[in-house]
Structure 1
Amino acid sequence: MQLTESTWFVIAIIIYLFAMLAIGFWAYRKNDDYSDYMLGGRDLPPFVAAMSAGASDMSGWLLMGLPGALFVSGFSELWIAVGLSIGAWANWKWVAPRLRAYTEIARNSITMPSFFENRLRDRSRLLRIISSIIIIFFFTFYISSGMVSGGRYFESTFDGDYLTGLLIVAGITVAYTFIGGFLAVSYTDTVQAMMMLAALIIVPVMALVALDNPTDIFGWQTENAYGPWPEGNPEYFNMFTGVSAAVIIGNLAWGLGYLGQPHILVRFMALRSPRQAVQGRRWNISWMVLTLLGGLIVAMVSTVYFGQKQSSVTDQTNYETVFLDLTRILFHPLIAGLVLTAVLAAIMSTMSSQLLVVSSSLIEDLTKIIFRREIPDKVLVNLSRTAVVAVAIIAAMLAIVPKDSILGLVGFAWAGFGSAFGPLVVAMLYWRRLTSAGAIAGMITGAVVSVGWSVLGLSSLMYELVPGFLAGAVALAVVSLLTREPSEEITAEFDAAVYLAETGEFSGAAAEEAREAAGLETVSEPGPAEGGSSRA
């Protein structure tokens, strides 16, 4: 019996999906308590942290959004990739070690909002509540972009229905996140990162072999028709033509967004020790450079291949399916199905990480405040799983009729997090003078300016992350300087965290020794409004 192309694709995807669910069940057996479910017991190896951060960061944008943008506009879109590479390196270099040390010193904080509150002893709870609301708001759009990617994936791969694809991708992602928590998300992301890398090596190489003259990729598209260019794009290889200085600055500023992305920062918090951030950085940046280069070559090859072979791209608006279409044409259906699962992997890896962070904000950072009493770990885990499903449903409703490109949805959420949390995270880790009032002012200002800039249609002038980040940083600094200085207890804990981050070795015992050296008593898990407190 001759199997159809779609049947081969289904076989490949079923193999992949069962593998992801198997990892989810394995992680389920590793979760002994709520902290394990949300942060993996702070026992994440650097390779896993690096690969899972990369996969959850890049998402469907790497295999669909980036090749599509480069296909349409050429090298002028590379500024985003340059900015991201620089930003990721800086994040691992300067944020990862201190965040790993400080989150454990600050009452063993397991979410970013709880860290913000514990770091500054904010008894009003406003800092924790507002940051949680910001996370839920922007991640709903971010998760929605993943579901849009899933729907378009099924349209291109199976000539299927967009809504059906959206629901299948969302359902499987929710399933293994629901079952296994942080460990499931981290280890599935690691597998998915390696699949993405393999796909971005194999596909462009095979496409080059299929061309009559592989060197055409270095000039053919400037004089010949392809995609949206009936007479070619003479400025395809020019990184400066067609983009203003403001646009270049805005695209480079995507790197600033790393400083405020909760689903990436949580990997730093889960490392075994601050010292392992060095290994994590090397793995992550190596992977990132190779995959971004692969995305660039996919776009270059696609312009020539689809122009010369007279083949059409499924997505005739944003051309975000060039990778998918190229794979279907070049490979046997079973091999193509296995390669195309890398796209599915990219989509699902980001969605799962974001779903987990949103559920932690809903449960750890809001529900525990509302109930004001100790909640058993088993109840917290079940509430978190319920939150995963609820957020997925809302995001799916937004994705049913997509009103923007994948890159547009990702860009909006990325800017929102970078503006609200980027300056705040840096100040939390490097500025002893930061106050809770300044933190709240900076966070709100950054988020409002970023959203307002986008709503007013000013993003075409400059990416909203730039004004949002700058406004948030100024508000944070000014209000902090105008309000009362932090207590000696807060500054002593700051010094203890810096010491642990710089020495590199870290364990629970080391944390307590550093606290004692700074004159701080041992504290329990509850935050400042839950009865826990430390005294200098």
Structure 2
Amino acid sequence: MVEPLAVAILIAYLVALLLIGLLSSKKSSVGMTDFFLAGRNLNKWTVALSAVSSGRSAWLVLGVTGTAYATGLDAVWAVAGYIAVEVFLFFYVARRFRAYSEQTGSITIPDILETRFNDKTHILRGVSAFIIMFFMIAYVASQLVAGGGAFATSMGVSSSTGMWVTAVILLAYTMLGGFHAVSKTDVVQAGFMFVSLVILPVVAIIGLGGFDPLLQVMHTEGGGFTSPFAFGFGAVIGLLGIGFGSPGNPHILVRYMSLKNVKEMRQAALISSVWNVLMGWGAVMIGLAGRAYFPDVSLLPNGDQEQVFLTLGSEILHPLFFGFLLVAVLAAIMSSADSQLLVGSSAFVRDIYQKMFRRNRKLSQKKLVRLSRLTTVVFMGLSLILAFTAQEFVFWMVLFAFGGLGACFGPALLLSFYWKGVTRQGVLWGMIAGLLTVILVKQQPQWTYAFLPDVKELLNTYFFGITYEAVPGFIVATTITVVISLFTKRPKHAKQIIERLNESA
């Protein structure tokens, strides 16, 4: 049974989220830029910490800790992969995102692609918007399922009740406060995640009697517990390749577009990097310490390695601090889901409705904000339906989401900001090729074996055993984009665009 003090902290956290949504509602009602980008008026701390929390989700507090518990230091590669890529993005790419989005009035990723290639056909906007909506609804549905499980564990309610509570809280503050509320709540949630991931391993190691007992356990386990190189080359590259998802996930990228002063981007990058390193270190150490406290996975609830975070916390922490751990799990879930919900809504309202269906009509900003709020409700409804009725489909979709979005948009955006020779046709076919590659590598449909070899087996044999789908997806997308661009006509003013971006960087 969960201590009343821990439950009280959890309830106080949920109330705080609602209050932030209410207090942010006036600012978010001014126009679409305010609702979806907080008016490009966020400070460096808010941008940095909201980027960290929205990008990690429950994967860090549950997934990485569980991986470290099961495989040891090999988990370091997964953390190193996303940290390295996000350092590169924040220090080198983010300024271009911010400068170009303001120069062109871009609010969404499809906005950026259409203006960069002067795409009068709106094909890039339409294809990218539908891909974003498709994945974001599935993403949010998976977060609702995870939230339901977290509430069931922490408060003793049913999973279905937990899903409803997660959905209502998420919808309320996101719909009312837009990106103003989402960014502020993400800062709060980053704080809970940070405190939990730093305090728990420190207390755990002290409880063991220092590092020596932990090192002894690691030596006894052997393998990945004594060397991060115990995995094969392909597996290591695959884990590092987790970072390939970051350049193409819109709920991370929109943070760069929301900073008030582009000159503060490198300071935001430093804050984000330090936060990421400390949280990653904490997650790995929790898994390693958990192995010392629970030598066999059968000692964890349902034999689930991802329960090591909460189980270790309940074992060694005061109820007050265990309450922080419960909040950290929910914070990890909600800090991703709120951003994904908002990005999905922006893809419909901005890219489909305003820029395609109503592009020749002048629409008031207040009307667009009202429609954005209504769309947020509809998207949450669709996510709830999926979460309750098609969980297998949801988890199947989420398998492709992070790597799929990375392969789809990552090469397209990076080449758009750095290479004057990239073309609309190259980007379009590169996006499609990257997404299809991810699907074939992750879970090749049975009917494709009639005319294609076993793609995963092919990678195992000829590609160093690298089978994490984002890596081949990213490489294929980049290759197709470059090759087709070399044989098609680049847009006018491409050279001037790149020169302006070079100046802004």
In the alignment, structure 1 residue 150 sits paired with structure 2 residue 139 = no
Matches within 5 A, 1:525-536: none
Instruction: Specify the code of the residue in structure 1 equivalent to 2:314.
Output: R
Q: 1:487 aligns with which of 489, 492, 495?
A: 492
Q: 1:275 aligns with which of 263, 267, 281?
A: 263
Spell out, residue by residue over 1:138-172, the C-alpha distance to the aligned partner (whole angstroms, 9 max, x if none).
22332233223212322332344222222212221
Spell out, residue by residue over 1:331-350, the C-alpha distance to the aligned partner (whole angstroms, 9 max, x if none).
33343223321211111011
Match of 1:324 in 2: 310
Instruction: Specify the code of the residue in structure 2 equivalent to 1:470.
Output: I
Asked if the contact 2:31–2:368 (Cα under 8 Å) also holds between the matched residues in 1, the reply is no
Q: 2:301 aligns with which of 314, 321, 327?
A: 314
Match of 1:189 in 2: 186
Q: Give, in whole Å, the separation in 2 of the partners of 1:405 and 1:335.
A: 33
Q: Give, in whole Å, the separation in 1 of the partners of 2:95 and 2:223.
A: 46
Asked if the contact 1:422–1:469 (Cα under 8 Å) also holds between the matched residues in 2, the reply is yes
In the alignment, structure 1 residue 467 sits paired with structure 2 residue 456 = no
Instruction: Specify the code of the residue in structure 1 equivalent to 2:300.
Output: V
Q: Give, in whole Å, the separation in 2 of the partners of 1:477 and 1:430.
A: 12
Instruction: Specify the code of the residue in structure 1 equivalent to 2:274.
Output: S
What residue ranges of structure 1 are gaps of 5+ in the alignment?
224-231, 503-536
Q: Give, in whole Å, the separation in 2 of the partners of 1:234 and 1:426.
A: 38
User: Secondary structure at 1:219's aligned position in 2?
Assistant: helix
In the alignment, structure 1 residue 418 sits paired with structure 2 residue 415 = no
Equivalences, count = 484
Asked if the contact 2:387–2:394 (Cα under 8 Å) also holds between the matched residues in 1, the reply is no
Match of 1:27 in 2: 24
RMSD (Å), alpha carbons: 2.3
> What is the deviation of 1:88?
0.8
In the alignment, structure 1 residue 392 sits paired with structure 2 residue 380 = yes
Match of 2:49 in 1: 51
Instruction: Specify the code of the residue in structure 1 equivalent to 2:64.
Output: L
Asked if the contact 1:150–1:347 (Cα under 8 Å) also holds between the matched residues in 2, the reply is yes
Spell out, residue by residue over 1:429-483, the C-alpha distance to the aligned partner (whole angstroms, 9 max, x if none).
1011121111111111111111222122839851111111111111111111111
Distance 1:378 1:326, change over 3 A: same
Match of 1:519 in 2: none
Matches within 5 A, 1:137-536: 137-211=134-208, 215-221=212-218, 223=220, 234-241=223-230, 243-307=231-295, 312-317=299-304, 319-368=305-354, 369-372=356-359, 373-400=361-388, 402-403=391-392, 412-456=400-444, 458=456, 461=465, 462-488=467-493, 490-499=494-503, 501-502=504-505
> What is the deviation of 1:261?
1.5
Match of 1:40 in 2: 38
Asked if the contact 1:156–1:314 (Cα under 8 Å) also holds between the matched residues in 2, the reply is no
User: Secondary structure at 1:239's aligned position in 2?
Assistant: coil
> What is the deviation of 1:6?
4.9
Q: Give, in whole Å, the separation in 2 of the partners of 1:15 and 1:96.
A: 35
What residue ranges of structure 2 are gaps of 5+ in the alignment?
445-454
Q: Give, in whole Å, the separation in 2 of the partners of 1:112 and 1:55.
A: 20
TM-score scaled to structure 2, two decimals?
A: 0.90
Asked if the contact 1:222–1:235 (Cα under 8 Å) also holds between the matched residues in 2, the reply is no
User: Secondary structure at 1:320's aligned position in 2?
Assistant: helix
Asked if the contact 1:220–1:304 (Cα under 8 Å) also holds between the matched residues in 2, the reply is yes
Q: Give, in whole Å, the separation in 2 of the partners of 1:279 and 1:315.
A: 44
Distance 1:311 1:487, change over 3 A: closer
Structure with a larger share of its residues in helix: 2
Q: Give, in whole Å, the separation in 2 of the partners of 1:210 and 1:409.
A: 41
> What is the deviation of 1:410?
5.7
Asked if the contact 1:6–1:158 (Cα under 8 Å) also holds between the matched residues in 2, the reply is no
Q: Give, in whole Å, the separation in 1 of the partners of 2:357 and 2:79.
A: 42
> What is the deviation of 1:20?
1.1
Match of 2:62 in 1: 64
Q: Give, in whole Å, the separation in 1 of the partners of 2:427 and 2:313.
A: 47
> What is the deviation of 1:405?
11
Distance 1:409 1:299, change over 3 A: farther
User: Secondary structure at 1:492's aligned position in 2?
Assistant: helix
Percent identity reads 34
